[in-house]
Structure 1
């Protein structure tokens, strides 16, 4: 049995296998930010549900604000600038996969990731590619573009700036659109997508994850959720080391 190397399960939309515009698209950003005590296997689906889709954790005292990071990505991939309805957002995000390359939380956006964190992300990314078999990778990180291309095994890679760093639709959209055409041409020769146990597990993790509540919790709920996160992360890390 192949060892699992992915600590943070990717977001895998319920219609990912069908794809967006006929393509299985894997969106790759860099990292999660925050205290390491908040690491948990479902961090990515939790964040997409809260910040991209505007969903509320059942124990939270309110909803988190939707983040422009996700709106920019959606606008760039769809190659349009408009106000998206809730239904449009749901349709888009459930048609793609989203993954953060680094397999550890970085303390702050102003802190550079450790050099060895990039190397540790290689094997996890290889596993993600094997399981998700994307037709197109959109790498939303100029500094990580070379590494992603070297690991892509021939899958077209559109490398653009991160949404928080010199991100301009006039530069980003044409790059993604060009690579979508390349990916569609390549897909005509590619084998059909095959599901796997890991794929089903990540789909289930995406479906069942609750939106991250942020700090909008009572003190008792903050303690309870922190303990839940520690337990789930410890169980996953134990299985990786086994």
Structure 2
């Protein structure tokens, strides 16, 4: 990837992102990372996905995997891995929100994240952006008309997300973008 000015945590991009099973490109947009600065590096997001999305035990990733699969049954490790190969994942805030979860990003963090996000969208050219949580939804600026995208917002997987409305919302957005769940 190139021309990603301001991006401290490079997005995870699945091997099949550009030729996904959905028939369109799907960018999953998370809010922020938590941790200590010594843990960071440009590949931090990629390592988190690889360490947490492919195996059971991480509720956030297990729930999100099921939404992306359009199913609620327990996925095999192969299904988990395969699901994540068809999407990209990027955390909007480009610095640690805090050392532990449930810490809200500051106004300055939200503002500083807008330009790097725009660069990521220009680079990845998603057709659908799946926004995780209302707080993030309320803090992302609209994209310029030159970057047409179908937006989809669901309740955050760690915040009481229900499968049926989330899967329906993603399926609807994929359909509007010319894809299928």
Whether TM exceeds 0.5 here: the answer is yes
Equivalent residue, structure 1, for 2:84: 93
Equivalent residue, structure 1, for 2:109: 117
Please report how far the alpha carbon of residue 136 of structure 1 lies from its aligned counterpart in structure 2 after TM superposition.
0.6
CA distance in 2, matches of 1:46, 1:3: 18
Equivalent residue, structure 2, for 1:178: 172
| Secondary structure of the structure 1 residue equivalent to 2:17 | coil
| Secondary structure of the structure 2 residue equivalent to 1:151 | coil
Equivalent residue, structure 1, for 2:62: 71
| Secondary structure of the structure 2 residue equivalent to 1:148 | coil
2:26 is equivalent to residue 25 of structure 1? yes
Q: Would the aligned equivalents of 1:50 and 1:66 in 2 still touch at CA under 8 Å? A: no
CA distance in 1, matches of 2:159, 2:143: 23
Equivalent residue, structure 2, for 1:160: 154
Corresponding pairs, count: 175
Which structure 1 residue ranges, 5 or more long, are not aligned?
Answer: 55-64, 186-242
Structure 1 runs, 4 residues or longer, greater than 6 Å off: none
CA distance in 2, matches of 1:89, 1:78: 9
Q: Would the aligned equivalents of 1:15 and 1:94 in 2 still touch at CA under 8 Å? A: yes
Equivalent residue, structure 2, for 1:61: none
Please report how far the alpha carbon of residue 123 of structure 1 lies from its aligned counterpart in structure 2 after TM superposition.
0.7
Equivalent residue, structure 2, for 1:138: 130
CA distance in 2, matches of 1:114, 1:36: 16
CA distance in 1, matches of 2:46, 2:3: 23
**Alignment counterpart, residue 150 of structure 1, candidates 123, 142, 146:** 142
Deviation digits for residues 95-132 of structure 1 (CA, Å, limit 9, x no counterpart)? 11001000001222232211110111101100110000
Equivalent residue, structure 2, for 1:10: 11
Mark the structure with the bigger radius of gyration: 1
What is the CA RMSD across the aligned residues, in angstroms?
1.9
Specify which structure has the higher proportion of helix: 1
Equivalent residue, structure 1, for 2:94: 103
Q: Would the aligned equivalents of 1:20 and 1:96 in 2 still touch at CA under 8 Å? A: no
Which structure 2 residue ranges, 5 or more long, are not aligned?
Answer: none
Residues 144 and 93 (structure 1), Cα distance of their counterparts in 2 relative to 1, 3 Å cut: same
CA distance in 1, matches of 2:175, 2:86: 18
